[in-house]
Amino acid sequence: MELSVLLFLALLTGLLLLLVQRHPNSHGTLPPGPRPLPLLGNLLQMDRRGLLKSFLRFREKYEDVFTVHLGPRPVVMLCGVEAIREALVDKAEAFSGRGKIAIMDPVYQGYGVLFANGNRWKVLRRFSVTIMRDFGMGKRSVEERIQDEAQCLIEELRKSKGESWETNGKERQLYKNLQEINAYIGHSVEKHRETLDPSAPRDLIDTYLLHMEKEKSNPHSEFSHQNLIINTLSLFFAGTETTSTTLRYGFLLMLKYPHVAERVYKEIEQVVGPHRPPALDDRAKMPYTEAVIHEIQRFADLLPMGVPHIGMAISFDLVILPQDTEVFLILSTALRDPHYFEKPDAFNPDHFLDANGALKKNEAFIPFSLGKRICLGEGITRAELFLFFTTILQNFSVASPVAPEDIDLTPQECGVGKIPPTYQICFLPR
């Protein structure tokens, strides 16, 4: 055997021994979990059908707080409503840091409000919240824009004349899509620069460009070109993509359970009627429809593992977590907790209705996460889901060439989330 090969094997053996010896000391304060192999961690113990299945299996043995090694990297998993709330609400500041997602990191690189940390995150979040408020978040103007978009969608659906559509449920190349959207935003920014009127900013990009100009002499300013691109990408992707995917899943469920769709339509007919578009004020008078939308979000469970957090050195679940511990919050374990939802694996709008048929709150319903990193667009997403869902069902009944009992609800994994399978749907004008 060549000397170089022998030296390589000796070096590799020494490295493995070093890792084995260091493991108990360096990670002694982490919660218990499956014993990792050097370098590989727990990868060989993972279920090939998906990470979530593996984590749920580990939870059965190690309960709600445990450590998994993804390769050499230890990650703490938090499951269940109590553990998640303790981290994100009771100890919000300690768990406000953001971890990385490998498939997204080449695009985001720590920029933008979604993946930024420290002062950058605070500056961008404050800016984003202010902009969304100033440009209509929670105001009538946003509702009118959503209603206009919903009517445009109705006109497009009418063109199908009841013919079958195929939804795009195929697993997509997430990284490629992010790059394409990134390039589109870059072109949009350049157009905004050329037509910018400092006295009348039109939107987020205009306002950001004015901040860039104001702080151009500050070498530590977070209002950089890269933050503008990625912040806009974060808001676009988190809002538009989540809403469209939830609606696709929602109409698949309406095909599977046509009696639910019919009951929603009857409530629309009773409260809204056929001659005006649904409005956000109607929500208070449409508890069943609201319960159905909540149940679509719960059942779809689009981001079962949420987005990773980074924790400070803090006492949690009888251990002292080391500084910069990476933490995954398995939101799926809250959304499907049998203590809060009678039939967690079944689609059942009654999960959100009380004995009198009124909408009821459920503290385990956290599709937008919790705490300091809660989704910025929660309000507008809820508005979009209600207005699009009700406007479509006001104007169309839905049908499938497949019998309801044969419709498959099994989601496909897409990067860090889930998407509904491809299916056929017909929009039949009422």
Q: Is 77 exposed, middle or buried (0-12, 13-18, 19+ CB in 10 A)?
A: buried
* DSSP-assigned letters across all residues of 232-248: HHHHHIIIIIHHHHHHH
- The helix, strand and coil proportions of the chain, stated in percent and rounded to the nearest 5, come to 50, 10, 35
In whole angstroms, give the CA distance from residue 64 to residue 82. 9
Taking residue 4's Cβ as centre, other Cβ atoms within 10 Å add up to: 8
For helices 287-300 and 378-395, the axis angle rounded to 10 degrees is 110
Residue 6: both structure tokens together: 């022998």
Which single residue is written with the structure tokens 């989330």? 417
H or E element, residue 352: none
Confirm or deny that 375 is annotated as ligand binding.
yes
Q: Which of 314, 323, 417 is nearest to 367 (CA)?
A: 417
Annotated binding residues, written as ranges, equal 375
Annotated binding residues for heme, written as ranges, equal 375
